[in-house]
């Protein structure tokens, strides 16, 4: 949830393309990743739908503005963006972008999401190590993603080099960059949720029961990143094994 580019980049970790063909092991990895992702996504949607019915006295936008203000952040704007679950923090424009339902609703779900995105703004303000590392990786990830697309097309078109060991190691190297990015994303997301829950508790905005529901909502949101990272690591290990066997 920290930037809308993440799902786009992480998609490359689940492209379903296997240099050299589709083995039963690779199909098993893809199937397990797909099922896990679908189950987590379904649970996330159900939890957010449920917790959107539990009212709080402030809208998501008001929660975000209050959290930023109480943490001494005056140069970040809270704005509304189209869509659902499109919430993210933009470190370049310094905006907390809340989806329309989160921005306008006064519910536990909206408060949890808004506070989480503000957690990223606080990370940025405090130069949080993992966020800085992740930001520095973005150009390399963008380049690797473009190169993977070209390599994938070459493989699908049956270019002769697509079955060589050199081709496989190039694929592994590029794929490793996107996999590392998905791994680095995890501490960034979990830390933002930790900051959000700590603030919700100290602010008195949510009572204990509501706090537990906010924690649960953020947990399932974080699990989407965990599933992507695990799936990406599993595929990377498979590609490494494939490359080693081609030597």
Q: What's the pLDDT score for residue 74? A: 95
Average pLDDT of the chain, as a whole number: 86
Which of the following is catalytic: 105, 117, 189, 210? 117
pTM > 0.75: yes or no: yes
Q: 247 pLDDT exceeds 90?
A: no
Residue 32: burial class (beta carbons within 10 Å; 0-12, 13-18, 19+): middle
* 111-147 burial: b if 16+ Cβ within 10 Å, else e: bbbbbbbbbbbbbbbeebebbeebbebeeebeebbee
In the residue annotation, 117 being an active-site residue is answered as yes
What's the rounded mean pLDDT across residues 71-88?
93
Residue boundaries of the structural domains of the chain: 5-55+127-245
Q: Minimum mean pLDDT among 14-23, 106-115, 181-190: which range?
A: 14-23
């Amino acid at each position: 949830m920290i930037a809308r580019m993440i799902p786009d980049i992480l998609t490359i970790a689940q492209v379903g393309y296997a240099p050299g063909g589709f083995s039963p092991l690779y199909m098993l990895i893809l199937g397990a990743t797909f099922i896990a992702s679908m189950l987590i996504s379904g649970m996330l949607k159900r939890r957010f739908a449920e917790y959107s019915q539990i009212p709080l006295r402030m809208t998501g936008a008001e929660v975000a503005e209050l959290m930023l203000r109480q943490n001494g952040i005056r140069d970040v704007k809270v704005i509304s963006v189209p869509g659902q679950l499109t919430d993210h923090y933009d470190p370049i424009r310094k905006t907390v972008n809340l989806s329309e339902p989160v921005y306008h609703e006064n519910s536990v779900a909206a408060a949890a999401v808004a506070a989480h995105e503000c957690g990223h703004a606080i990370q940025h303000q405090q130069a949080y190590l993992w966020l800085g590392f992740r930001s520095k990786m973005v150009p390399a990830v963008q380049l690797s993603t473009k190169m993977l697309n070209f390599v994938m097309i070459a493989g699908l078109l049956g270019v002769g080099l697509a079955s060589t060991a050199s081709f496989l190691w190039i694929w592994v190297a590029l794929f490793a960059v996107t996999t590392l990015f998905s791994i680095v994303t995890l501490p960034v997301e979990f830390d933002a949720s930790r900051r959000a829950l700590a603030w919700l508790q100290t602010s008195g905005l949510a009572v204990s029961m509501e706090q537990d529901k906010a924690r649960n909502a953020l947990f399932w949101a974080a699990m989407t990143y965990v599933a992507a990272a695990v799936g990406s690591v599993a595929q990377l290990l498979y590609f490494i094994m494939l490359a080693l066997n081609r030597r």
